Amino acid sequence: MKLKRTHNCGELTNNNNGETVRLSGWVENYRDHGGVAFIDLNDRWGTTQIVFHPDIAGEHHKIAHTLRSQDVISIEGKVSARPEGMANARLGTGEIEVYISDFELLNKSKTPPFEINHSGETNQEVLLKHRYLDLRSRKMQKNLIFRSELTNKIRNYFNDQQFVEIETPILTRATPEGARDYLVPSRTNPGKFFALPQSPQLFKQALMVSGYDRYFQIARCFRDEDLRADRQPEFTQVDIEMSFVDQEDVMSVTEGLMAGLMKDMFSKDLTLPLPRITYDQSMLEYGCDAPDLRFGLKIKDLSDVFVNTGFSVFKNAVKNGGAVRSINLKGAAEKLSRKDLDDMTPFAARFKAKGVAWIKMTAEGPQSPIVKFFSEEESAELYKRMEAETGDVLIFLADKEEVVCQSLAALRLDLGKKLGLIDENELNFTWVVDFPMFGKDHKARPTSLHHPFTAPKTEDLDRMEDDVFDVKTNAYDLVLNGCELGGGSIRIHRKDVQERVFRILGIDEEEARDKFGFLLDSLDYGAPPHGGLALGLDRMAMLFLKTPSLRDVIAFPKTQKATCMMTEAPGNVEEEQMEELFIASTVEDEE
CB 325 → its own copies: shortest distance, Å?
39
Partners of residue 456 on adjacent β-strands: 473
* 410/553 with CB nearer its own copies: 553
Is 505 labelled a binding residue? no
Is 484 labelled a binding residue? yes
CB 463 → its own copies: shortest distance, Å?
19
* 256/355 with CB nearer its own copies: 256
Is 491 labelled a binding residue? yes
CB 191 → its own copies: shortest distance, Å?
3
Distance CA 492, CA 530 (A): 8
Residue 451 contacts residue 458 (beta carbons within 8 Å)? no
- Roughly how many angstroms between the first and final C-alpha of the chain, as a whole number? 49
* 33/228 with CB nearer its own copies: 228
* 113/365 with CB nearer its own copies: 113
HSE on the CB side for 143, CA within 13 Å?
A: 25
Is 537 labelled a binding residue? yes
The amino acid at 320? N
The amino acid at 344? M
Residue 505 contacts residue 469 (beta carbons within 8 Å)? no
CB 62 → its own copies: shortest distance, Å?
21
| Other Cβ atoms closer than 10 A to 179 | 12
| Other Cβ atoms closer than 10 A to 506 | 11
Is 538 labelled a binding residue? yes
Q: Identify the DSSP state of 76.
A: E
* 8/14 with CB nearer its own copies: 8
Give 305's contacts (C-beta < 8 A, 6+ positions apart). Answer: 324, 378, 381, 382, 385
Q: Identify the DSSP state of 454.
A: B
CB 58 → its own copies: shortest distance, Å?
24
CB 55 → its own copies: shortest distance, Å?
28
Distance CA 41, CA 49 (A): 6
Is 241 labelled a binding residue? no
Element (H, E) at 385: helix 376-386
* 146/383 with CB nearer its own copies: 146
Distance CA 58, CA 118 (A): 35
Of 97, 42, 34, the closest CA to residue 67 belongs to 42
CB 584 → its own copies: shortest distance, Å?
5
Note the maximum CA span of the chain: 94
* 44/503 with CB nearer its own copies: 44
CB 52 → its own copies: shortest distance, Å?
19
Distance CA 144, CA 132 (A): 13
Of 489, 544, 554, the closest CA to residue 254 belongs to 489
Is 536 labelled a binding residue? yes
Phi, psi of 419 (to 5 degrees): -85, 5
* 137/428 with CB nearer its own copies: 137
CB 267 → its own copies: shortest distance, Å?
20
Chain centroid to CA 236: 10
* 54/169 with CB nearer its own copies: 169
Residue 446 contacts residue 439 (beta carbons within 8 Å)? yes
Is 232 labelled a binding residue? yes
Annotated binding residues for ATP, written as ranges, equal 223-225, 232, 484, 536-539
Annotated binding residues for L-aspartate, written as ranges, equal 177, 223, 450, 491
Annotated binding residues, written as ranges, equal 177, 223-225, 232, 450, 484, 491, 536-539
